[in-house]
Amino acid sequence: MIRTEELLLNVGPQHPSTHGVFRIIVKLDGEVITEATPVMGYLHRGTEKLAENLTYTQIIPYTDRMDYVAAMTNNYVLCYAVESMMGLEVPERAEYLRLVVMELQRIASHLVWWGTYLLDIGAMSPFLYAFRDREKIIDLFNELCGARLTYNYMRVGGVKWDAPEGWLDKVRDLIPYMEEKLKEYDRLVSGNEIFLARIRGVGAYDAQTAIGYGLSGANLRCTGVDWDLRKNAPYSLYDRFEFEVPTGERGDCHDRYRIRLEEIRQSLHILRQAMAQFPEPGPTMGKVPRVIRPPAGEIYAAIESPRGELGCHIVSRGKAEPYRLKFRRPSFVNLQILPKLLVGETMTNLITILGGIDIVVGEVDC
Amino acid sequence: MGDLLREPLTAGNALLFLLAAAGLLLIVLGFVTYAIYFERRVIGWMQLRVGPNRVGPLGLLQTVADIFKLLIKEDTIPRKADRALFVLAPVLAYVPAFAVLAVIPYTSGLYFADLNVGLLYYVALSSMTTLAIVLGGWASNNKYALLGGMRSAAQMISYEVPLVMSVVGVVMLSGSMNLRSIVAAQGDWFWQWHFLPQLIGFAIFVVASVSELNRTPFDLPEAESELVAGYHVEYSGFRFAFFMLTEYVYVYAIAALTTVLFLGGWHPPAPFLDIVPGLIWFVLKFALVVFVLFWLRATFPRLRVDQLMGFGWKVLLPLALLNIFVTAAYMELWIK
Amino acid sequence: MKGMLQGLGVTLKALTSKKVTTSYPDEPLQMPDRFRGIQYFIPDLCIVCNQCVRVCPTDCITLTGKPNPDPEKKGKVIETYDIQFETCILCDLCTEVCPTEAIVMTNQFELAAYSRDELFKDMHWLSANDKQVRADNNPIGAPGKGGGK
């Protein structure tokens, strides 16, 4: 008597490809997934609740730890929200510094994604190549603000440090270097037939579905929707720069891969322009009251983080601490589509699709 | 060696054979130790790192330390595992891996068994390891191990067919399945070796053998990013060491087989280079094959199961059959 | 085929190229001046204003003061000053608000310990940690002349 049984498999929380402590319970029929249930919360630290008892300056180091691969953008979204609420002026040089570090951060974040994604697919070397180049950016940040991962660099009304001597030149040197390295990456894997066969047509969805699930970032743009908050709702100084928003057509993992690599190129393009028009030395902190007390009210500020729309919703009662603080974390929102994408796929594609969404568990669980 | 093999089996000869086998075992263990070191070094360099350099001079004792660690580690057997099969699997994996080495000739005089069906013996024995891998995966009573074992069974069975088919051309050209005769049938100049006349066969053989070795890009049974470690996920200590040993002994075997079948064995690439002993040429070609295996691992991503199976059955097998047909036609039309 | 061969070319080229790793424990890492490492505390400069305790986002600093033993002088002097490095995130805020730069960052970052107790650093330990002290502390958050409110 032959009978078949569904296999209930626990992928994670300790699993090499769940990028931290993320868990998916899958039901397998052979190697085909019939049901997938993501389980999260293993890295929950209660940032939003903690923030209710902290002043705005004290929250900034906590935002570093949400998306720890792209801490600069997290810093920015909080400062941006508070500044918009209080109507603060940020000195031009500080704003340029912010923009430069955010674009560098985008490159660093996409490099981490690129390396780990290829690692998921089974190629070891790209990870090391990506980290070699990310290291250069991390070193720049280390020189600028004294930390390699949790920067705590931005402050409400400006930035903590002006660029040290020679730092801007190092950024200028980095741009041609990275452009050269991107070509190397393309030679290394982008054209590899095995790799293309692995990601083409995998995890595809259309624009309607993507919008329905609230996806943002490369996960949305891969379906052809031209939506980038840097263009569509400009913040910081992005309206002063020329750049393109790469979009895909098929909405599959290959499009997401292509878009992220292209975004690195566009970031370099923005950096090149920013370095050309970088303002002369001046103040890097605006006029900020001693204690930051935004007026009573609410604000939602959103920026384009490397992973998508990163929002910060502050409810203030006019105190030094927020009454309620909510972060719209792109990793968390983008993850919603995972159970839908996984049904009918194989175990191998689970890894490809999960990696393609580009989550950072610190941000998912916050 | 040849004269000794033809003599009647006496107690003294049996002892000699035993010593020779033990000697080969030591050589193989030495190869495995330094192949792992070499692999880590090469991959390290290709990844802009330096590789192991802490234990011993230049890190040469790194693998020794690793093996020592595996040997003194606690040997765990999961409570729900099928104990007898769990224990049997690593042994069953290793024995054929070592047994296939018997038929490989190193020079015209240095070989361990002069078997007329040497190639068949190799292919037949090496498939037994699949059984051990499935057994180990199943006996562990672990879902990841089971998936790894199933993948391995599917993969090894479907790649064994093109592997065997791809060497049929070589067998036809040399008119023998004896590995010594196959080497002897390859000419003095390197373009007379089988890898050029049998280019399709050679290509299929390389792909299928990498797949048989479960190495990147065909390392699905132990895909660490999907199945954590695949069939040996529950194994620890020396049982795990045996699975690793099996894998690297097969690297040895396949590299030697490639050298013998396609790269002219101990022949120098040109007749006037025969001042260098044949064994050196053999080792050089052998090392080149091993290096290519490591090089592939440092570069390629992994295939997907369905693509792997499709590639094996839809591309490699028809190509191998075509190769046999073309070889037969060539021999019929030109050689005769 | 072409893509695969290109990839093989890249890795082959890397085989002989310059390696990028450092031999860290053998050669100490040189951090830039702004690096935020374990704090250096100067008891003589401390005016017990409690700013660092209040600004610390993880509440890892505790301090107590006592009246100045010199009856001529006003104010307090520091008695105990402890930082709990289990929770300290080296965020730089304490050095930023310190009006007298009594607490400053250093380039020391090696905090690995066998016991959690070792991560509790008191005033003596912190004031002995005087190597590679950061030169520029950029106290943008510090109150102006006259001390804390």
Considering the four listed CATH numbers 1.10.645.10, 3.60.15.10, 3.90.1200.10, 1.10.150.120, the one that applies to the domain covering A7-357 is 1.10.645.10
Query: What is the helix (H) or strand (E) element at residue A24, kind and residue range?
Result: strand A23-29
Find residue C82's DSSP bridge partners.
C62
CB pairs under 8 A between A and C: 86
Question: Band of the pLDDT at C147, cuts 50, 70, 90?
Answer: very low
| pLDDT for res B225 | 66
A240 in C contact zone (CB under 8 Å): no
Give A-chain residues touching C140 at CB under 8 angstroms: 155, 158, 160, 285
Q: How many CB atoms lie within 10 A of CB B322?
A: 13
Please, which chains are in contact with C (at least 3 CB pairs closer than 8 A)?
A, B
Closest residue, chain C, to B296 (C-alpha): C8
Residue A17 has pLDDT above 80, yes or no: no
Q: Taking CA A11 as the corner, what is the angle to CA A65 and CA A214, rounded to the nearest 5 degrees?
A: 55
Which among B256, B259, B281, B260 has a CA at the least distance from the CA of B270? Answer: B281
**Which token pair is B4?**
């000794």
Strands C103-105 and C61-67: unpaired
Taking a contact as any Cβ pair under 8 Å apart, which residues of chain B between 242 and 281 contact chain A?
A: none
With pLDDT > 70 as the criterion, what percentage of chain A qualifies?
100
| pLDDT for res A13 | 83
Question: Band of the pLDDT at C114, cuts 50, 70, 90?
Answer: very high
Residue C50 has pLDDT above 90, yes or no: no
CA atoms within 13 A on the CB side of B239: 24
Residue A313 has pLDDT above 90, yes or no: yes
pLDDT higher at B186 or C98: C98
Gap between the Cα atoms of A93 and A91, Å rounded: 6
Give A-chain residues touching B306 at CB under 8 angstroms: 346
Residue C146 has pLDDT above 70, yes or no: no
| pLDDT for res B208 | 87
Closest residue, chain A, to B305 (C-alpha): A348
CA C127 to chain centre: 12
Instruction: Using CB atoms, pick whichever of C3, C34, C56 lies closest to residue A146.
Output: C34
Tokens 């954590």 appear where? B228
Gap between the Cα atoms of B239 and B248, Å rounded: 15
C38 in A contact zone (CB under 8 Å): no
Gap between the Cα atoms of B19 and B30, Å rounded: 16
Tokens 């037969």 appear where? B328
- Annotate B173-233 with three-state secondary structure: HHCCCCHHHHHHHCCCCHHHCCCCCCHHHHHHHHHHHHHHCCCCCCCHHHCCCCCCCHHHC
C91 and A150 within 8 Å at the Cβ level: the answer is: yes
Determine the residue type at A344.
G
Q: Tell me the mean pLDDT in the region A106-117.
A: 91
A191 and C89 within 8 Å at the Cβ level: the answer is: no
A188 and C35 within 8 Å at the Cβ level: the answer is: no
Determine the residue type at B15.
L
Which among C41, C28, C51, C54 has a CA at the least distance from the CA of C98? Answer: C51
Residue A194 has pLDDT above 70, yes or no: yes
Q: Tell me the mean pLDDT in the region C36-62.
A: 89
| pLDDT for res A5 | 79
| pLDDT for res A138 | 92
Q: Tell me the mean pLDDT in the region A337-362.
A: 87
- Identify the weakest region by mean pLDDT among A150-164, A228-242, B83-97, B106-120: B106-120
Closest residue, chain B, to A352 (C-alpha): B226
Please, which chains are in contact with A (at least 3 CB pairs closer than 8 A)?
B, C
Determine the residue type at B141.
N
| pLDDT for res B1 | 59
A17 in B contact zone (CB under 8 Å): yes
- The domain segmentation of chain A, as residue ranges, is 7-357
Taking a contact as any Cβ pair under 8 Å apart, which residues of chain B between 67 and 86 contact chain C?
A: none
| pLDDT for res A204 | 87
Residue C96 has pLDDT above 90, yes or no: no
Per residue of chain B (336 residues), what is the pLDDT tens digit?
A: 566 667 777 777 888 888 888 888 888 888 888 888 988 888 888 888 888 888 888 888 888 898 888 888 888 888 888 888 888 888 888 888 888 888 888 877 777 777 788 888 888 888 888 888 888 888 888 888 888 888 888 888 888 888 888 888 888 888 888 887 787 777 777 777 877 778 888 888 888 888 888 887 887 777 666 777 778 888 888 888 888 888 888 888 888 888 888 888 788 877 777 777 878 888 888 888 889 888 888 888 888 888 888 888 888 888 888 888 888 888 888 776
**Best residue of C1, C6, C8, C20 to probe chain B, by most B CBs closer than 10 Å:** C8
Tokens 């309607």 appear where? A208
* A47 CA: distance to closest CA in chain B (Å): 30
B211 in A contact zone (CB under 8 Å): no
Give C-chain residues touching A156 at CB under 8 angstroms: none
Question: Band of the pLDDT at C148, cuts 50, 70, 90?
Answer: very low
Reported pTM = 0.88
Q: Which residues of A189-198 are buried (b: 16+ CB within 10 A; e: fewer)?
A: bbebebbbbb
Q: Tell me the mean pLDDT in the region C74-81.
A: 85
Give me chain A's average pLDDT, please.
88
Give C-chain residues touching B47 at CB under 8 angstroms: 14
**Which token pair is B97?**
């891996």
Question: Band of the pLDDT at A177, cuts 50, 70, 90?
Answer: very high
Q: Tell me the mean pLDDT in the region A296-308.
A: 91
A24 in B contact zone (CB under 8 Å): no
pLDDT higher at A134 or B110: A134
pLDDT higher at B114 or C40: C40
CA atoms within 13 A on the CB side of B119: 26
B48 in C contact zone (CB under 8 Å): yes
B295 in C contact zone (CB under 8 Å): yes
Taking a contact as any Cβ pair under 8 Å apart, which residues of chain A between 200 and 219 contact chain C?
A: none
Gap between the Cα atoms of A335 and A346, Å rounded: 18
C133 in A contact zone (CB under 8 Å): no
Give C-chain residues touching B45 at CB under 8 angstroms: 14-16, 19
B199 in C contact zone (CB under 8 Å): no
B300 and C4 within 8 Å at the Cβ level: the answer is: yes
Gap between the Cα atoms of A285 and A158, Å rounded: 4
* A258 CA: distance to closest CA in chain C (Å): 15
B297 and A124 within 8 Å at the Cβ level: the answer is: yes
A196 and C143 within 8 Å at the Cβ level: the answer is: no
Instruction: Using CB atoms, pick whichever of A150, A191, A196 lies closest to residue C89.
Output: A150
Gap between the Cα atoms of A158 and A95, Å rounded: 7
Let me know how long chain C is. Answer: 149
- DSSP helix/strand/coil, A47: helix
Pair C132, C50: CB distance under 8 Å: no
Instruction: Using CB atoms, pick whichever of A146, A190, A193 lies closest to residue C92.
Output: A146
| pLDDT for res C143 | 64
Q: Which residues of B205-226 are buried (b: 16+ CB within 10 A; e: fewer)?
A: bbbbbbbbbbbbbbbbbbbbbb
Pair A301, A311: CB distance under 8 Å: yes
| pLDDT for res B336 | 67
A318 burial via Cβ count (<10 Å: 0-12, 13-18, 19+): exposed
| pLDDT for res A107 | 92
